[in-house]
Structure 1
Amino acid sequence: MVGVTIRSPSAEQRLRELGIALPPPPTPFGAYVEAVKIGNLVFLSGMLPVVGHVPQFIGRVGVELTVEEGCKAAEVACLSALSAARAFLGSLDKVTRVAKLGVYIATAGDFKEHPRVADGASEMLLKAFGEEKLSGRIVLGVASLPLGVPIELELVLEVET
């Protein structure tokens, strides 16, 4: 039909339709805040795979944890990030684009499956926001992360002004 605009579902609607429930918003483990808005960007603090300050995964991917467990840990960390963003913004529907995704993975030195693990977070963002709002990403292997968790996410969101 000419002149008809088809709108894709909102992030909140997408999550409802997929039956994805966000955990309670995370709270800081120290002297920092979970989110800061500068202009039309929201910078989230490093997000871990924890719920209520309780790590859901402990260990390094490729050592104590499998790639699949690492992927699930990235998904849990992403759900925490979405929850923090919703608490800060009032609604995920205010997100106009994912500006940056960084995935830090605690691994052994010879680990090579970083992209597969990071897909746990990327695929959750895809479910929430759709392909048109995704960003590029950086994925790094590190020796250790806070609390012994395998994943820490860095997320920057563009929001409506």
Structure 2
Amino acid sequence: MSDVYAKLKELGLELPKAPAKGGVYSSSRMFAGNLVYISGCGPVIDGQVAGKVGKEFTKEEAYVFSRNSMLNVLAVLQDRIGDLNKVKQVVKILVYVASDDEFYEQPYVANGGSQLLVDLFGEEAGAPTRSAVGMNVLPGNIPVETEAIFEIEE
């Protein structure tokens, strides 16, 4: 596997500072010594993002929000494990999409985060199992939220 940080640079992306918690919970939790669960992260990196996909935002904009949510997930993971190159594989992601009643392309939106993982960790290790679900509303009126589980090298 190549260096995750070099891949980010090649993609013209930077890992943001891990987002602050929005309540009483843990941003990440280690389980069984090599699984790391990351709590839901939204797409906010620079400035505020609010609204529903299919209403205020297009599916293409939401695809980018999904990628940004995953960047925030990775920032939390880095804070937990110290080096993203320790990721053995992405186990599962769950992508919530605040959707207008007539929007049905949540899987397309989720591809923004999934594709980033494949670009960074490769097809075998980076393609997660996944669920993409539509929601009426998300905290802070954000359009996308992503949570994840990673297996880490022991």
CA distance in 1, matches of 2:55, 2:12: 32
Q: What is the match of residue 21 of structure 2?
A: 28
Partner of residue 81, structure 1? 73
Match of 2:36 in 1: 42
Q: TM-score, normalised by structure 1?
A: 0.88
Higher mean alpha-carbon deviation, 90-99 vs 110-119, is at: 110-119
Report if aligned partners of 1:85, 1:92 keep a CA contact under 8 Å in 2.
yes
2:131 aligned counterpart, secondary structure? strand
SS of equivalent to 2:40: coil
1:31 & 1:140 partners in 2: Cα distance? 24
Match of 1:98 in 2: 90
TM-score, length basis structure 2: 0.92
Residue 17 of structure 1: how far off its partner (Å)? 3.4
Task: Deviation per CA, 1:52-105: give whole Å up to 9, x if none.
Answer: 7x53x2100001111111111111111101111111110001110000011110
Partners of 2:13 and 2:45 lie apart in 1 by 15
Of 26-35 and 145-154, more deviation after overlay is shown by 26-35
CA contact (8 A) 2:36 2:149 kept: yes
- Any gaps of 5 or more consecutive residues in structure 2? none
CA RMSD of aligned residues (A): 1.4
Map residues 1-161 of structure 1 onto 2, 5 A cutoff: 8-39=1-32, 40-51=34-45, 54-55=47-48, 57-133=49-125, 134-161=127-154
Query: Structure 1: which 4+ aligned runs deviate by more than 6 Å?
Result: none
1:64 & 1:18 partners in 2: Cα distance? 27
Q: How many residues are aligned here?
A: 152
Distance 1:18 1:112 in 2: 29
Cα 1:66–1:18, aligned 2, differ >3 Å: closer, same or farther?
Answer: closer
1:5 match: none
Q: Percent identity?
A: 36
| Structure 2 residue identity aligned to 1:135 | P
Larger Rg: 1
Letter in 2 for 1:100: K
SS, match of residue 41 in structure 2: coil
Distance of 2:20 and 2:141 partners within structure 1: 18
Give, in angstroms, the shift of residue 18 of structure 1.
3.0
